[in-house]
C-alpha cells in the first residue's frame, strides 16, 4: 500500500529547499553588508595600494559552491533536522558549480506516470524561488555556470525524479516508469482512509464540545461520514426536511471528495455517504453522494 505520508513527502523536498533558498539568501545579504563595510574601509585607507583595493572590490564573496555551502552550515543542519521522520533523508552538497538537494526515501516509491505528473505540476510553484537562489549564487560565488539540482532517489539508489535549475532554464529527468503498475495511489477506499488517519483524528478533535462526535470509515467503495449526537434526538419529518434543505450547502464539498477518490483510489464507482444518528444509534438522516 502506498501511504499518504509517502505521497506527501514527494513534495517535502520542494518546501524544504525553499527554506534553504531564503536562509542562504539572507545569510548572503548579511555578509554583503559586512563586506561592503570592509570594502569602504579599504577605499578610505590611504595606506592601501589602489590595485589591491580594486581587486577586493571586484572579487566574489565565495571562491566555490562548496565554500558557499560551508558558510551556511548551521542553516543546512537545521533544515536537515526538520526533515527527520518525514519519510526520507536529506543531504545538501556541492558538486563543482552545482548545489544539490538530495532526498532518499525510507521506503521504495513506485515510479508511475501519476508520480511524475505530480512532480511536474508542483515544479511551477517553486520555479521563481530557485531562480532566486541562482541569482544569489551568481552574485556571490566565483562560478561560471552555477546550478541547483533537486534529486529524489529510492533506498536502492534508483532515480524517482530529478530537476536541474540553470540560467538557461529547467531540465527534468524522471525515473523509469514501472510498467503494469496501477497509476492509482491506493488500492481500496480503506487504504485511502488509513493513510489519512492523522487528519481524521484532527477533524474528530475539532468537534469536541459541539454535542456530537464524528467517525470516517470505509465500506467497500463507499466513504462514510458518520455524525453521532451525544443525546437522544427524535426522528421526525421536520428534522429530515431540515437536513435535506441544508444538503445543497455541502454538495460541492462532497463532490470534490468523490473526485479525489476517483483520482487516487483504484475503484470504478466511489460513493460518499453522510449519516446522522442519535446516541442510541437511531438514524436521523442519511444521504449518498455519487459522481
Report the C-alpha gap between 287 and 227 in whole angstroms.
12
∠ CA 272-185-174, nearest 5°, is: 145
| Residue-wise pLDDT tens digits, 98-107 | 999 898 988 8
Residue 11 and residue 18 in contact, taking contact as beta carbons nearer than 8 Å: no
Q: Is the pLDDT of residue 260 over 90?
A: no
Q: Which residues contact 153 (CB under 8 A, 6 or more apart)?
A: 102, 103, 104, 105, 159, 160
| Residue-wise pLDDT tens digits, 194-252 | 888 888 888 899 988 999 999 999 999 999 999 999 999 999 999 999 999 988 888 88
| Residue-wise pLDDT tens digits, 54-80 | 433 447 899 999 999 998 888 888 888
Under the banding of pLDDT at 50, 70 and 90, the label for residue 85 is: confident
pLDDT of residue 221: 95
What is the sign, positive or negative, of the torsion defined by CA atoms of 11, 151, 18, 71? positive
| Residue-wise pLDDT tens digits, 137-152 | 999 999 999 999 989 9
**pTM of the predicted model, to two decimals?**
0.57
pLDDT of residue 249: 85
pLDDT of residue 174: 93
Report the C-alpha gap between 207 and 197 in whole angstroms.
16
Amino acid at each position: 500500500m502506498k501511504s499518504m505520508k509517502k505521497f506527501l513527502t514527494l513534495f517535502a523536498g520542494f518546501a524544504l529547499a525553499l527554506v534553504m533558498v531564503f536562509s542562504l539568501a539572507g545569510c548572503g545579504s548579511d555578509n554583503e553588508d559586512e563586506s561592503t563595510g570592509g570594502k569602504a574601509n579599504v577605499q578610505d585607507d590611504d595606506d592601501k595600494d589602489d590595485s589591491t583595493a580594486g581587486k577586493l572590490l571586484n572579487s566574489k564573496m565565495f571562491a566555490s559552491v562548496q565554500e558557499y555551502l560551508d558558510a551556511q552550515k548551521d542553516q543546512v543542519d537545521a533544515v536537515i533536522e526538520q526533515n527527520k521522520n518525514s519519510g526520507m533523508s536529506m543531504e545538501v552538497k556541492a558538486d563543482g558549480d552545482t548545489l544539490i538537494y538530495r532526498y532518499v526515501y525510507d521506503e521504495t516509491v513506485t515510479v508511475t506516470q501519476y508520480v511524475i505528473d505530480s512532480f511536474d505540476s508542483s515544479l511551477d510553484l517553486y520555479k521563481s524561488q530557485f531562480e532566486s537562489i541562482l541569482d544569489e549564487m551568481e552574485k556571490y560565488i566565483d562560478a561560471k555556470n552555477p546550478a541547483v539540482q533537486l534529486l529524489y532517489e529510492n533506498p536502492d539508489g534508483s532515480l524517482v525524479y530529478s530537476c536541474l535549475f540553470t540560467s538557461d532554464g529547467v531540465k527534468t529527468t524522471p525515473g523509469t516508469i514501472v510498467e503494469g503498475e496501477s497509476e492509482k495511489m491506493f488500492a481500496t477506499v480503506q487504504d485511502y482512509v488509513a493513510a489519512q488517519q492523522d487528519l481524521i483524528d484532527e477533524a474528530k478533535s475539532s468537534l469536541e464540545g459541539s454535542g456530537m462526535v464524528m467517525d470516517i470509515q470505509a465500506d467497500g467503495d463507499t466513504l462514510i461520514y458518520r455524525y453521532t449526537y451525544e443525546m437522544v434526538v427524535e426522528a421526525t419529518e421536520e428534522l429530515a426536511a431540515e437536513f435535506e434543505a441544508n444538503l445543497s450547502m455541502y454538495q460541492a464539498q462532497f463532490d470534490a471528495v468523490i473526485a479525489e477518490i476517483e483520482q487516487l483510489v483504484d475503484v470504478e464507482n466511489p460513493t460518499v455517504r453522510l449519516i446522522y444518528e442519535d446516541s442510541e444509534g437511531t438514524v436521523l438522516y442519511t444521504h449518498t453522494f455519487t459522481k
